C-alpha cells in the first residue's frame, strides 16, 4: 500500500478538523497555539509532503529554498495567499491551494458590522457605559451618521466584495465598485452596482470605502497617501482584507488630523502590531483579524484544506489550486 502523505499543520485547528486529518494522513499537529519559529518552519518543509500553513507563516523564497524533495503541496489554511511566494513555489514544482468561498459570508458580516459600528459610534457608546459616563439622554449627544442613502465604494468585487454589496444594498446604501475587470452585467444589475474604471474618481465621491481585494505586489498601498487624500473629509474607510493594501501610517495621521471621519479595521500592516496613533483614536473601530473567525467557518476551511490535499494526493488537480497567473 502507498504510504500516507506526511502532512505538517503549523497551527492548532478545530478538534474535528485535526481528528479527520489524523484519520486520512500521517498528520503532524502542533500542541501549542503559537506561530512556528523560523527553525521549526524549516524543519517542517524539509520533511513534509504537504505543508498546511496559516496567515502567520511566511513561506518565502528563503524557506522554500530549504524545502525537502518530498514537499509537493502547500495547502494554505486561508484564502489570502500573500503569506506564500506562489511564484517561487510553483517554479519549484510545489503546488499551492487556498480556501476560497467558505469564509465569504462571515467576512462580509464582519465588514457590515464595521460599516455600521464606525459611523454610528458603537465603540464610543460601549465605552460610555463601561466607564460610567452616561449621565442622561440628550437629543444632541452621541450623534453619528446614517448609512442609509449613502454611497459605498467597494474596492475588489470578488466573492467577498459582492457579499458585502448584497448586504449594504439591503441597508439602503448605493453600491459602487472598482475592480480590475468589470463584473458580469447580471451581477451589476442584481447589486444595482455602478462600476468605476477610475479608482481615483470613485474615492473622491464615496461616503464609505471598503477594501476587498487581495494583497499582491500590485495592490500594496493601493490606497496610498495620494489616494487617501482624494477621499472626502467626512468619509469612512473599512478594511477587512489586508493591512498592506492601505498606507496605514498616512491613514492614522489623517484620522488624527480630522481629514477623514473614521475607520473600521480588522487588518493591519504589521500584525499583531497596531499603529499607536490608530489605537488611541476614537474615530476608529479596530478588531484583531476576526473577519473569518467563526467556528463554522474554521471547520469549513479545514474541510477545504482536506479536500485539496486528498485530491492532490489522488493525482488530480485540487479544486482550489492557486497559480501565479491568478494573482
Ligand atoms: C484567516 C484570512 O484569519 O483567509 C484569509 O485570507 O485572512 C482569514 O481567513 C487567516 O488568514 C487564516 O490563515
ipTM (interface pTM): 0.96
What atom of ligand 1 comes closest to residue 56's alpha carbon?
Answer: 13
Do 132 and 94 sit in the same domain of this protein?
Answer: no
Same structural domain, 77 and 159: no
Known catalytic membership, residue 18:
no
Ligand 1 center to 292 CA (angstroms): 7
Q: Does 302 lie in the same domain as 205?
A: no
- Position 261 scores a pLDDT of 98
| Residue 204: predicted pLDDT | 98
Catalytic entry in 11, 167, 242, 283: 242
pLDDT of res. 2: 76
Ligand 1 atom closest to Cα of residue 53 = 13
Residue 1 is predicted with a pLDDT of 63
Task: Output the pLDDT for position 31.
Answer: 92
What is the strand order of the sheet 73-75 is part of?
A: 26-28, 6-9, 50-52, 73-75, 95-97
Listed in order, strand segments (DSSP E) in the chain are 6-9, 26-28, 50-52, 73-75, 95-97, 151-155, 174-178, 193-195, 208-211, 236-239, 262-265, 284-286
Q: Specify the number of domains making up the chain.
A: 2
CA–CA distances in Å: residue 19 to residues 51, 103, 168, 278: 17, 21, 38, 40
CATH number, domain containing residue 299: 3.40.50.720
**Structural domain boundaries, residue 58:** 6-100+294-326
Q: Can you list the residues of the chain whose pLDDT is less than 50?
A: none
Measured from CB, residues less than 6 Å from any atom of ligand 1 are 54-55, 77-80, 103, 289, 292
Catalytic status, residue 227: no
Amino acid at each position: 500500500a502507498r504510504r500516507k502523505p506526511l502532512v505538517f499543520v503549523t497551527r492548532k485547528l478545530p478538534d474535528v478538523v485535526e481528528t479527520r486529518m489524523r484519520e486520512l494522513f500521517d498528520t503532524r499537529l502542533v500542541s501549542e497555539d503559537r506561530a512556528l519559529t523560523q527553525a521549526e518552519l524549516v524543519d517542517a518543509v524539509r520533511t513534509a509532503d504537504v505543508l498546511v500553513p496559516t496567515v502567520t507563516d511566511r513561506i518565502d523564497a528563503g524557506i522554500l529554498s530549504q524545502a525537502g524533495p518530498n514537499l509537493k503541496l502547500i495547502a494554505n489554511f486561508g484564502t489570502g495567499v500573500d503569506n506564500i511566494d506562489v511564484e517561487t513555489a510553483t517554479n519549484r514544482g510545489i503546488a499551492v491551494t487556498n480556501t476560497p468561498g467558505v469564509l465569504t459570508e462571515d467576512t462580509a458580516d464582519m465588514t457590515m458590522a464595521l460599516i455600521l459600528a464606525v459611523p454610528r459610534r458603537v465603540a464610543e457608546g460601549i465605552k460610555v457605559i463601561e466607564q460610567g459616563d452616561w449621565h442622561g439622554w440628550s437629543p444632541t449627544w452621541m450623534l453619528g451618521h446614517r448609512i442609509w442613502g449613502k454611497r459605498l465604494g467597494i474596492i475588489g468585487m470578488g466573492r467577498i466584495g459582492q457579499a458585502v454589496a448584497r448586504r449594504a444594498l439591503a441597508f439602503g446604501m448605493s453600491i459602487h465598485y472598482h475592480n480590475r475587470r468589470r463584473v458580469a452585467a447580471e451581477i451589476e444589475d442584481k447589486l444595482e452596482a455602478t462600476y468605476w474604471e477610475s479608482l481615483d474618481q470613485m474615492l473622491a465621491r464615496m461616503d464609505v470605502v471598503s477594501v476587498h481585494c487581495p494583497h499582491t505586489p500590485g495592490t500594496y498601498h493601493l490606497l496610498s497617501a495620494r489616494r487617501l487624500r482624494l477621499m472626502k473629509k467626512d468619509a469612512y474607510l473599512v478594511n477587512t482584507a489586508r493591512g498592506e493594501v492601505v498606507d496605514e501610517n498616512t491613514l492614522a495621521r489623517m484620522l488624527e488630523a480630522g481629514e477623514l471621519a473614521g475607520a473600521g479595521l480588522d487588518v493591519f500592516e504589521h500584525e499583531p502590531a497596531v499603529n499607536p496613533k490608530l489605537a488611541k483614536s476614537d474615530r476608529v473601530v479596530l478588531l484583531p483579524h476576526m473577519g473569518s473567525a467563526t467556528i463554522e467557518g474554521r471547520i469549513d476551511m479545514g474541510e477545504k484544506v482536506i479536500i485539496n490535499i486528498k485530491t492532490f494526493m489522488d493525482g488530480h488537480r485540487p479544486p482550489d489550486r492557486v497559480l501565479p497567473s491568478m494573482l
